[in-house]
């Protein structure tokens, strides 16, 4: 029997604004403490505890404003830059597994979506602590801040995005955030 404790759950704040995703296990305690409402359940899927079985949530909403930000990891981390760029080197188009600052940190470059790109090791070494122009290289795409939905959908997953998420994600797509 497959455990559904690590299935993904869409999390909204008390105003129905997308916060991110977490595991079923991650929201169970908050649901039982009445801190969250379940808006959608997975049809016909249950988790058994020692005395009963529980329906598996797909979409939850905090009842009160929360003091922490679940989507902090949606910043320009190495993993998120690689996801945004689909592991494509910004300089040669090959497969890249490193993150490069377009304007190097040693020159005042900051950690931002617009200053970070995916690079293969060879291009990253070739560019070094120089700008692409100084290294005789050019970007094959312009880095931009992705919207939250793009990163959520891009994250590796075992199952497709549930249909029940669609109506909660559409507002994110239209605002471009």
Q: What is the 3-state secondary structure (H, E, C) of 12-73?
A: ECCCCCEEEEEEHHHHHHHHHCCCEEEEEEEEEEEEECCCCEEEEEEEEEECCCCCCCHHHH
Higher pLDDT, 175 or 109: 109
Pairing relationship of beta strands 18-23 and 116-119 according to DSSP bridges? unpaired
pTM: 0.57
Identify the CATH assignment for 77-127 out of 1.10.30.50, 2.60.40.10, 3.40.50.300, 3.10.20.30. 1.10.30.50
Helix, strand and coil content of the chain, in percent to the nearest 5, comes to: 30, 25, 45
- Total count of residues recorded for the chain: 177
Residue 145 is classified by DSSP as P
pLDDT digits (tens, 9 = 90+) for 56-105: 999 999 999 886 655 545 788 888 899 889 899 999 999 999 999 999 99
**Closest residue by Cα to residue 120 from 144, 102, 95, 137:** 95
Compute the mean pLDDT over every residue in the chain, rounded to the nearest whole number: 85
pLDDT digits (tens, 9 = 90+) for 5-39: 888 899 998 998 888 788 899 899 899 999 999 99
Using CA atoms, how far apart are residues 27 and 16, in angstroms rounded to an integer? Answer: 16
Question: Domain residues of the chain, as ranges?
Answer: 8-71+155-175, 77-127
Quick one: pLDDT at residue 175?
45
The confidence band for 174, taking pLDDT boundaries of 50, 70 and 90, is: very low
The first and second tokens of residue 65, run together, are: 């404003």
State the DSSP H helix or E strand holding residue 101, giving kind and residue range, or none if neither. Answer: strand 98-101
- Which residues, at least 6 apart from 144, have a Cβ–Cβ distance to it below 8 Å? 113, 114
């Amino acid at each position: 029997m497959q455990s559904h404790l690590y299935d993904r759950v869409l999390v909204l704040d008390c105003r129905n604004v997308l916060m991110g995703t977490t595991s079923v296990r991650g929201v169970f305690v908050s649901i039982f403490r009445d801190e969250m409402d379940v808006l959608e359940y997975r049809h016909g899927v249950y988790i058994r505890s020692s005395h009963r079985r529980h329906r598996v949530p797909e979409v939850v909403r905090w009842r009160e404003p929360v003091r922490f930000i679940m989507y902090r990891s949606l910043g320009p981390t190495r993993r998120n830059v690689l996801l945004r760029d689909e592991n494509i080197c910004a300089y040669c188009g090959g497969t890249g597994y490193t993150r490069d600052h377009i304007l190097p940190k040693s020159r005042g470059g900051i950690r931002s979506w617009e200053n970070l790109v995916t690079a293969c090791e060879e291009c990253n070494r070739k560019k070094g602590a120089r700008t692409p122009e100084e290294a005789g290289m050019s970007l094959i795409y312009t880095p931009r801040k992705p919207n939250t939905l793009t990163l959520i959908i891009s994250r590796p997953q075992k199952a497709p995005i549930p249909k029940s998420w669609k109506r909660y994600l559409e507002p994110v797509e239209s605002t471009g955030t």
